[in-house]
Amino acid sequence: MQSLKVFLKKYWLILLIVILAIWWFQQNDNVVMNESRGGDYAMEEMAFDDGYAASRSLSVAAIGEAKYDSDDEQKVMRSASLDLHVTSVEDTAAELGEYVEGLSGSILSSNIWRGEGSYSASISVRIPADRFEEAMVGLKGFALYVESEYVDADDVTEEYTDLEARLTNYQAEEAQYVAIMERANSVEEILKVTQSLSNVRYQIERIQGQLNYYDNRVDYSTISVSLNEDESVSNVAGKWLPGSTASEALSDFVVFLQSLVDKGIYLAVFGWPILLIALWFWMKKRKR
């Protein structure tokens, strides 16, 4: 015990320095750890921003590379319109529907109406793109003659490739936001990341919708068909209508009888003075 007191008297200053040094090192380690954690989070955000900017700048190169490979699969939206003259609109419309179903297509809309003595129709059909040419030839086969034909092809390969590149960038951005969200430590950080993540996912859904629209228009073509009955055929068919002829004859006969009765009435009203004058001259002539 006496030796301990002697030791403390001789070396108390050294012990104090050692204790202060240990305390200082512990405090410094805590500061370094906190700064490291904050720095890591900041670096994550900076890395995210830099990576996002880099991905944006690289999108041009990605699009260019995609354009280079686009010859393998062109994205072309095709549509057409046909104006056909047929013998019977109603019969042709029914046959046309069966033909389209046979091509694995469908009728989008159909409207038939009667004009001045003949029928007309407007039909819109949806055909698989790989059977577009076959459908055009087959539809024209229903016509006596084709009044007009129009075909439109819209190449959207460039727009489609650009949308795919933008979608890839947004999906990468989404993944980074999700990773940041998992390491967020405060409510403020979570709210900021949630808002950014919501905006990115909105853009992803919007672009995906545009891609789906293009896919649908590329995979299926739309053909608008107008049907009109040929005038010469309509006129020939209209020359022999027995029922209509009988109705017209009966109507004319009634008009004739009405006219005959009308003349008898006029004669009865205006004819008796003439008869009296003629009778007076006849009696005078007999007296002579």
Q: What pLDDT sits at residue 12?
A: 58
Task: Considering only residues 134 and 181, tell me which one the structure prediction assigns the higher pLDDT.
Answer: 134
Answer yes or no: is pLDDT of 236 > 50. no
pLDDT of residue 211: 96
Note the pLDDT tens digit of each residue in 21-54. 565 556 555 443 444 444 444 444 444 444 444 4
What pLDDT is attached to residue 1?
A: 52
Instruction: Provide, rounded to the nearest whole percent, the portion of the chain with pLDDT above 70.
Output: 65
Asked whether 203 and 61 are in contact (CB, 8 A), the reply is no
pLDDT tens digits for 248-276? Answer: 788 888 888 888 778 777 777 766 677 77
C-beta atoms surrounding 119 within 10 Å: 19
Residue 16 has pLDDT above 70, yes or no: no
Compute and round to an integer the Cα radius of gyration of the chain.
48
Q: What is the mean pLDDT of the chain?
A: 78
- pLDDT of 96 reads 95
State residue 249's pLDDT score.
82
pTM for this predicted structure: 0.55
